[in-house]
Amino acid sequence: MENWQKQAQKILEESLAVKKAFWEKQKGNILRSAEEILRALKAGGKLLIFGNGGSAADAQHMAAEFVNRFRLERLPLPAIALTTDTSILTAIANDYDFSQVFSKQVKALGHPGDVALGISTSGNSENVLQGLATARELGLFTIGLTGGDGGKMPSYADLVITVPSRETPRIQEAHIFYIHLVCELVEEAYFAS
């Protein structure tokens, strides 16, 4: 148990250091992404969010914060996690390929002026990249949320926000920080008047 305390302290310090470095290196991109999401929502557009595994959970978390509420009691904002409909996901994966599970949904739901946010800790998830590529082709503003060196994501997104770490848990912790920060900034700005 004594070792656990030391290990926990080390993990805490690493997590805080990654989040601080993430903010310092990416604050311009983080704030721009919030501005693009706000612009889309104010113009009647929506936010489409997608990822795999923990990133799928992050997509659902972010959509829930926009549709329900974050900190303010307010009207819902349109955000859809493309990770939640198992019938759609399994039909596309079965009839076509798993790499198409997000791109086909983007084709069905996305419109010019919307924002697509693809989340991949490695930046190399093929279905996330294809979802971003389709969104870009359709005229959506595309945001990639990733880690490490960004992987292939910079070729697929208009704006790439990269956590400066190669450790998946630390990247995901910074992604949650990003999600909460953007939700709070957009919510406050949208309902400021």
Specify binding-site residues: 52-54, 61, 65, 94-95, 120-122, 125, 172, 180
Q: Under 8 Å CB-to-CB from 93, ≥6 apart: which residues?
A: 100, 101
Nearest-angstrom CA–CA distance, 147 and 126: 15
86 vs 30, 63, 192, CA distance in Å? 31, 17, 37
Joined tokens for residue 12:
């805490």
- Tell me phi and psi for residue 35, to 5 degrees: -65, -40
Nearest-angstrom CA–CA distance, 14 and 94: 41
- Binding residues for Zn(2+), by number, are 61, 65, 172, 180
- Binding residues for substrate, by number, are 52-54, 65, 94-95, 120-122, 125, 172
Asked if residues 91 and 109 have their Cβ atoms less than 8 Å apart, the reply is no
Asked if residues 107 and 138 have their Cβ atoms less than 8 Å apart, the reply is yes
Asked if residues 191 and 72 have their Cβ atoms less than 8 Å apart, the reply is yes
Nearest Cα residue to 158 out of 55, 50, 33? 33
